[in-house]
Amino acid sequence: MRRLPWLALTILALLAFSAAWAIDPIRDAATGGVMADATLERSAGYVLLAPISAILDTVTLLSVRQHLALIATLVLGWTAWWWWSRRERDLAVTPGRRGVRIASRVGIALAMLVGLYAVAVMVPRPMAALRTVSPEVLSVDFHAHTKYSPDGRWNWEPEDVRRWHHKAGFDVAYIADHRTFDGAREGWANNPSQAGTETLLLPAIEAVWQGEHVNILDADRMYNGILDASLRDVDTEALRLASLVPGNEPVLIETIPGNLSKVAAAKGRGTAGVRAIELIDGAPRGLAQSRLERARILDIADSANIALVAGSDHHGWGHAASGWTLLLLPGWRAAPPEEVSRAIAATLRSGGRGSTKVVERYVADTDDAVLLPLTVPLVAWGMFRTLSLDERVVWLAWIAALVLLSRVHGMRRRRPGEP
């Protein structure tokens, strides 16, 4: 019994049982239902690395609370398993040496976790991409950063942002750095002349207004002067004056994590205020608030008639997108970047709550206190449920190959005459 490949058999059972309860890897973030307007495309490279792709994507898309639960569960589980498997040998040593062994096992577990996270956030790999069903629909990321932002990765160039978003299936990405327009200007300067040929990088900035972080679309090119000299804070009076012209009001997007009780929504045409709110934010803290307070975010959007959007909040780490914003803009593929930028802003201003759809990458929600201790099994089960048929076949091939290699290695280490 000890020689049976129990881990492999457990994974095989999960692959078989989860196939009976398979679900789509993406969903409508507002309703939790099926997203009929888009599909998730996995490249051949992504599928060939199916176990690695699925595990690293899942780790990348966890909230901060889920990360803590994962770390605690794996460290404790690893230590308990190691102690149980070698308990007789450990009982024969002194308590002091036994403590050293346990501490070393915890250290090894933590080192392995650090390695897992380092691979997830730093090592390039194939990405799953969103594909819209209609050519009239475009997918947008309203919140991305470059190296010019104080919190961006030191070598994360605007063109790296473009490539990352192209791999994830975005048609448009807004560069919203803190306190600078340098990244946004560089990305804008290198845009193609026609939108449908390559991912567009459009300008924005992340600033503070009434104590909350907001992204302001096209603040540099259209609304120069609504920020203070440091480009950190919004000048309330300048924002009010800039908003007086109906149809030309600055578009402010409330970002999360934030204080939802302080969301200051615009009251209509010719007024200043927030005209969209993030339903999905790809940062771990943003994902936590999105899942814990989703009903409240939806209520704010419904009651104030403001748009729902998704932001990757990407700073150069990781290779999985957590959400996409879909907008219907007929003819956008043949339009120049300036026209697409104006059309997106106009759609958010005039369309309000009904102007967008938010697509979410599925990860089991275990952020509440009751389910948090069960994060590892529930998230793993959810990951297996989202696998496609070709991914399941690749998982089987990987398991067979690894078991065979393990058996061959065991036979080589076995002494002559040993059964």
User: Average pLDDT, stretch 62-72?
Assistant: 95
Which backbone phi and psi does 229 adopt, to 5 degrees?
-65, -30
Q: Please state, in angstroms and rounded to a whole number, the distance separating the CA atoms of residues 284 and 61.
A: 7
Look-up: residue for tokens 């490949």? 5
CB of 285 closer than 8 Å to CB of 65: no
Predicted local confidence at residue 2, as pLDDT: 58
Listed residue (250, 282, 415, 278) closest to 349, CA to CA: 250
User: Average pLDDT, stretch 32-56?
Assistant: 97
Provide the pairing of β-strand 38-41 with 212-217: unpaired
Question: Do the domain assignments include residue 313?
Answer: yes
Question: Do the domain assignments include residue 93?
Answer: no
CATH number of 328's domain: 3.20.20.140
Question: Do the domain assignments include residue 331?
Answer: yes
Spell out the alpha helix ranges (H) of 86-213: 87-91, 95-122, 158-167, 182-189
User: Average pLDDT, stretch 231-254?
Assistant: 96
Tokens of 131: 């594909």
Angle between helices 375-385 and 6-20 (to 10 degrees): 60
Q: Which residue has the higher pLDDT, 257 or 417?
A: 257
Listed residue (251, 253, 275, 141) closest to 201, CA to CA: 141
Question: Do the domain assignments include residue 89?
Answer: no
Question: Do the domain assignments include residue 403?
Answer: no
Q: List pLDDT tens digits, range 79-138.
A: 777 777 666 555 555 666 766 776 777 788 788 889 999 999 999 999 999 999 999 999
In DSSP terms, 276 is beta-bridged to: 253, 307
Q: List pLDDT tens digits, range 259-287.
A: 999 999 999 999 999 999 999 999 999 99
CB of 167 closer than 8 Å to CB of 198: no
Q: Please state, in angstroms and rounded to a whole number, the distance separating the CA atoms of residues 155 and 175.
A: 15
Question: Do the domain assignments include residue 104?
Answer: no
How many domains are there within the chain?
1
Contact residues for 154 (Cβ-Cβ < 8 A; gap 6+): 147
Q: List pLDDT tens digits, range 341-385.
A: 999 999 999 999 999 999 999 999 999 999 999 999 999 999 999
Tokens of 303: 């009651």
Which backbone phi and psi does 347 adopt, to 5 degrees?
-65, -45
What residues make up the domain containing 153? 129-361
Look at residue 61 and tell me whether its pLDDT is greater than 90: yes
Predicted local confidence at residue 111, as pLDDT: 87
Mean pLDDT for all residues in the chain: 93
Predicted local confidence at residue 207, as pLDDT: 98
Question: Do the domain assignments include residue 2?
Answer: no
Question: Do the domain assignments include residue 346?
Answer: yes
Tokens of 284: 């771990």
Q: What is the CA radius of gyration of the chain?
A: 24
